[in-house]
Amino acid sequence: MSRRQFALPERVSAAPLDDTGCTVLHVDMDAFYASATLLSHPELVGTPVIIGGGTRGVVLSATYEARRFGVASAMPMSRARRLCPQATVLAPDHELYARISAGVMETFRSVTPVVEPLSLDEAFLDVSGAVRRLGGPASIGQRIRDTVHDEQGITCSVGVAPSKFVAKLASNLAKPDGMVVVPRDEVVPFVQQLPVAALWGVGDRTEEALVRLGLRTVADIAHTPLATLVRGLGEATGHHLHELAWGRDPRPVEREQREKSVGSDQTFEADIDDAAEIRRRLLGLSERTAARMRAAGLTGRTVTLKVRFSDFTTITRSRTLREHTDSGRTLHAAAVGLFDALGLQRARIRLVGVRMTGLVPTREAPIQGVIGEPEHGWRDADRAVDRARARFGSGVVRPASLIERDTSRSQRDTSASVRRRRDLS
């Protein structure tokens, strides 16, 4: 479902209602990336802040104060700056996000083993098995909200309902920092009060098609003959929207599935044609990817390099390693090998990325020690760096080749009391 916001229907109160049978929760962090980043910038709380970087990048997240000016996720940074020129721009901290996400998911799993993550910052929970132990679904939702705030320092919104579809609608309406319970007997009137754009799967194009049919609310869809919907929208979409319009969603919450990949990429402020500088950027991306893997308790075998040229042509190259790894040093060596094999001569490059696939939990693929490596080698060093970053911030320990450039950049940027971070590296 789109992250568009809708006004809370009059029939449903944000106060806890009868939650009997409402065993599906949708929990969504509020402006997750922005909220997490502001943990290190408390002086900016309550002000417009955009998480992103560069003039060519896109918005990763924005505080609600910036969203009031029209700033939205995935919007080009150039447009976001025009809409809200007074906003402070901060660089993303993916290691921090992975660490907080792991803590949030652990909170979910402490309530119920039936957790279906949708992304780093949201998940469905089936709490039917936890009701006897922890109380009603609304009480469990409040417990989760309190725990996430106390342990992670961020807020989340919770939808409590009999089905996944309605729970997700409810959490969207609860934002920010709220909880909406949709009693089983109120599902149909709750859903049918909403605009058609609220339905799961209705994007801009489908919304336009519905409006052409004269359908502007979910109630309009519900009372339109199914044959008319199928004729106007197609077999699958017509049936899908008809079912949702009557609040029917039989899908169960599915236990979490393993992530298929972990990666990082970077769009440059200006095209780069220096191979040595590309290798340096690949080091930062490799270290970031490896740290995210370690935070998630994962190792992988296949390294993929992505290169996008100035004309937007994009190529990828992959290499499968002999052993699973979560080492930034190993990822970097593989990524550089793939880059050098391309034989690029002064090619103008717009973006590079590093991604690891073939992921398994670390406990399922123990990483073998390297012959000749000291007893306390690179893996111990990586974990020591992780601990330092967790305590003092992600920028406290970095490879030496990244520090010199970043130091000169920070010296240029310190003229303002609250400076805007203009580079993702």
CA distances from 268 to 25, 89, 273, 341, 350 (A): 40, 16, 11, 22, 6
Q: Kindly name the residue from 65, 95, 116, 122 that is annotated as catalytic.
A: 122
Other beta carbons within 10 angstroms of residue 285's beta carbon come to: 26
Residue 161 is inside which H or E element, if any?
strand 156-161
Quick one: DSSP state of residue 240? H
Is-contact 256 117, C-beta < 8 A?
A: yes
State how far the Cα of 24 lies from the Cα of 128, in Å rounded to an integer: 8
Coil, strand or helix: which one is 357? strand
Residue 28 assigned ligand-binding role: yes
Quick one: DSSP state of residue 368? P
Bridge partners for 180 per DSSP: 159
Coil, strand or helix: which one is 281? helix
Residue 324 is inside which H or E element, if any?
strand 314-325
How many alpha carbons lie under 13 Å from residue 384 in its C-beta half-sphere?
7
b/e string for 15-29 if b means 16 or more Cβ within 10 A? Answer: ebbebeebbbbbbbb
Residue 220 assigned ligand-binding role: no
122: annotated active-site residue: yes
Q: What angle do CA 340, 264, 203 make, to 5 degrees?
A: 125
Is-contact 210 10, C-beta < 8 A?
A: no
State how far the Cα of 168 lies from the Cα of 52, in Å rounded to an integer: 26
Specify burial of residue 232 (Cβ count, 10 A radius: 0-12, 13-18, 19+): middle
CB proximity list for 19: less than 8 A, separation 6 or greater: 136, 137, 138, 160, 181, 183
> What residues are annotated to the active site?
122
User: Which residue ranges make up the annotated binding site?
Assistant: 28, 121
Residues belonging to the binding site for Mg(2+) are 28, 121
